[in-house]
Chains A and B, each alone.
Chain A
């Protein structure tokens, strides 16, 4: 451990730290994390370019399928898309575009990709954000309960349900809900985000909420298990900790020991997971958006992938990966605020 000078003086203060002189430890920590994130982002950019060119399928052929087009017209389209250039030249253009956030024109929609993304980002954030918040809260509450009463009937039932739902494919569950509750019972709309002809702020909000119920329910059902299992195992880890015994021996009631000592410490690993998932909020709902025809980034990606509409899929790939990287970075930055042991 530290100095064995047990007596009444505190150990050497924060001044006696190793490292480059003149650079505050916090700045070094921050700088290191940001640098890592930037390098990851560059790697993602490069991967994105090549990944989708390796995919089979010719965009020009796909877009002109079933129509009689001349060779000249095909050539013109190729030139238009920049696909006539040699690969290295395409790569340079791609990189320069990325640097200026110019993702190019969509092949199929003929509008700038950045416009498409801006338009679709809101619905995705709404759907996935709501789903993630509900799943996280549900998972944390159930996981805490299960961990604290491990082996009880409640623990076994809750864990069993969560793991069953976790192993269900989200598109299947989504289709099932549509068949049962939307087209079957007629309780909810089958697809989309809004009904035509609805006006007024409140009515529109209510209408969107109504459309959200099934996709959000599908998403929550499938993902809450991971929050629950992480929280459960973190609580279990803390359960054996001596400081809980100390707190009990001081006269604290069990419920308060859980609330004041076990849960805050068990939350630490869970917070990291939540941040990683916030990054996946943008990308994680591709299947659900497709099944429910939700006008978000996920269904945009899906429609881009079918062509392949290279500018769209490239840009979205970078956006998806970038949001994971940025949230990861945020988790690294938030963690020291929560855990004094990581503070340097």
Chain B
């Protein structure tokens, strides 16, 4: 039942994915006649062993819902989440076994820790759920805390979350995940609520866990810089669907999707020339546009470049489709990027 984490550092390509989704759709039914919100609308995503994947997108694009679905916390409307190639079974017992091997780290550690539980209880809880209270529980808690960078661990045992700093709290949350020796950690904006000075430390911690224990991670973020710093691969999500995927270098240094470009262009250190502030209505998952879901805000379409490439009509009427999740190949869901001409090659990425 317990699978020790594979210490071999699997790289982006090759090997069966640990955690993957196929055609995943999640809709939240609307109240009394309002249209359902399609938070996740067809996503194929793969996370390989020892791989760190960044899921990038603006708020409301469905990335947190996707993260929760990966843990079986939200049941998909259609499609499936697979772990080691086997579809998730949503029976309590199967979910429990699954959750021993895939763990969640949330954005705000202040909320993610029960304020009335001590650090020891918070970290030990996962182990108690799956193996009960054992004599060596203390050692395991101590080890998890020191793996999360809280040393000496004994000094933290009896502290309450409110006595710790934000970074320490997030380390406690991570230790609570680590004590189960998971294969994958799904981290939903793990540093967004932390001080800038602490962010780097937490990201370093995730990288070190990958290097030392072969821990794979899906890092959900709206921060492209963060994705650049820690991820092997990146998937850009817009309105419930992944619109561009590839290695971090491919996606962030040579973006092909107009949405990715727009996101990158507003970074302060961007060398992408002029900033593209996206106009038009903000994305609303209850009303996903026909055709390419980005076309109503697409700067390429608005500037006439898509017209020049002869794809403007397809942008408005034809869905560019879902991207396969397999690593190794850079993919983009954009008619214009796939158009033979003009080559969108004059892009110079950050870094």
Assess the B115–A265 pair: CB atoms within 8 A: yes
Assess the A246–B104 pair: CB atoms within 8 A: yes
Residue of B nearest to A12 (CB): B163
Contact with A along B272-283 (1 / 0, CB 8 A): 000000000000
Q: Which A positions have Cβ atoms within 8 angstroms of B?
A: 1-8, 10-11, 241-243, 245-253, 261, 264-265, 338-341
20 CB < 8 A contacts A-B? A4-B166, A6-B166, A6-B171, A6-B201, A6-B202, A7-B201, A10-B163, A11-B165, A242-B107, A242-B111, A243-B114, A245-B73, A245-B112, A248-B73, A250-B177, A251-B100, A251-B129, A261-B114, A339-B115, A341-B162
Assess the B106–A4 pair: CB atoms within 8 A: no
Q: Total A-B pairs in contact (CB under 8 Å)?
A: 109
Assess the A264–B99 pair: CB atoms within 8 A: no
Contact of B111 among A4, A7, A243 (CB under 8 A): A243
A339 to B159, CA, bound (A): 13
Assess the A11–B99 pair: CB atoms within 8 A: no
Which of B147-155, B211-219, B332-340 forms contacts with chain A?
B147-155
Q: For the A-B complex with A10-B164, A340-B115, A340-B116 known, give 13 more contacts whose Cβ atoms are closer than 8 Å.
A: A1-B166, A5-B167, A6-B165, A10-B156, A10-B168, A243-B115, A245-B104, A250-B125, A252-B125, A252-B129, A264-B116, A339-B115, A341-B115
A281 to B95, CA, bound (A): 48
Q: Main SS of chain A's interface residues?
A: loop
Assess whether B130 is interfacial by the CB under 8 Å rule.
yes
A23 to B201, CA, bound (A): 38
Assess the A246–B167 pair: CB atoms within 8 A: no
Assess whether B83 is interfacial by the CB under 8 Å rule.
no
Assess whether B249 is interfacial by the CB under 8 Å rule.
no
Q: Report the minimum CB–CB distance from B105 to chain A (whole Å).
A: 9
Q: Which residues of A contact B155 (CB under 8 A)?
A: 10
Assess the B165–A1 pair: CB atoms within 8 A: yes
Q: Report the minimum CB–CB distance from B187 to chain A (whole Å).
A: 12
Which 7 residue pairs across A and B have the least CB separation, nearest first?
A6-B167, A242-B111, A249-B104, A6-B198, A251-B99, A250-B126, A242-B112
Q: Which B positions have Cβ atoms within 8 angstroms of A?
A: 68, 71, 73, 92, 95-97, 99-100, 103-104, 106-108, 110-116, 125-126, 129-130, 149-152, 155-156, 159-160, 162-168, 171, 173, 176-177, 180, 194-195, 197-198, 201-202
Q: Report the minimum CB–CB distance from A244 to chain B (whole Å).
A: 9
Q: Report the minimum CB–CB distance from B66 to chain A (whole Å).
A: 14
Q: Which residues of A contact B166 (CB under 8 A)?
A: 1-2, 4, 6
Assess the B165–A5 pair: CB atoms within 8 A: yes
A246 to B109, CA, bound (A): 10
Known: A251-B126, A339-B116. A246 touches B176 (CB 8 A): yes
A252 to B72, CA, bound (A): 13
Q: Which residues of B contact A242 (CB under 8 A)?
A: 106-108, 111-112
Residue of B nearest to A4 (CB): B195
Q: Which residues of B contact A5 (CB under 8 A)?
A: 165, 167
Residue of B nearest to A5 (CB): B165
Q: Which residues of B contact A1 (CB under 8 A)?
A: 110, 165-166
Q: Report the minimum CB–CB distance from B91 to chain A (whole Å).
A: 11
Assess the A253–B92 pair: CB atoms within 8 A: yes
Q: Which residues of A contact B152 (CB under 8 A)?
A: 8
A258 to B106, CA, bound (A): 19
Q: Which residues of A contact B149 (CB under 8 A)?
A: 7-8
A291 to B198, CA, bound (A): 66
A235 to B166, CA, bound (A): 26
Q: Which residues of B contact A6 (CB under 8 A)?
A: 165-168, 171, 194-195, 197-198, 201-202
Assess the B167–A4 pair: CB atoms within 8 A: yes
Q: Which residues of B contact A3 (CB under 8 A)?
A: 165
Q: Which residues of B contact A338 (CB under 8 A)?
A: 116
A282 to B180, CA, bound (A): 53
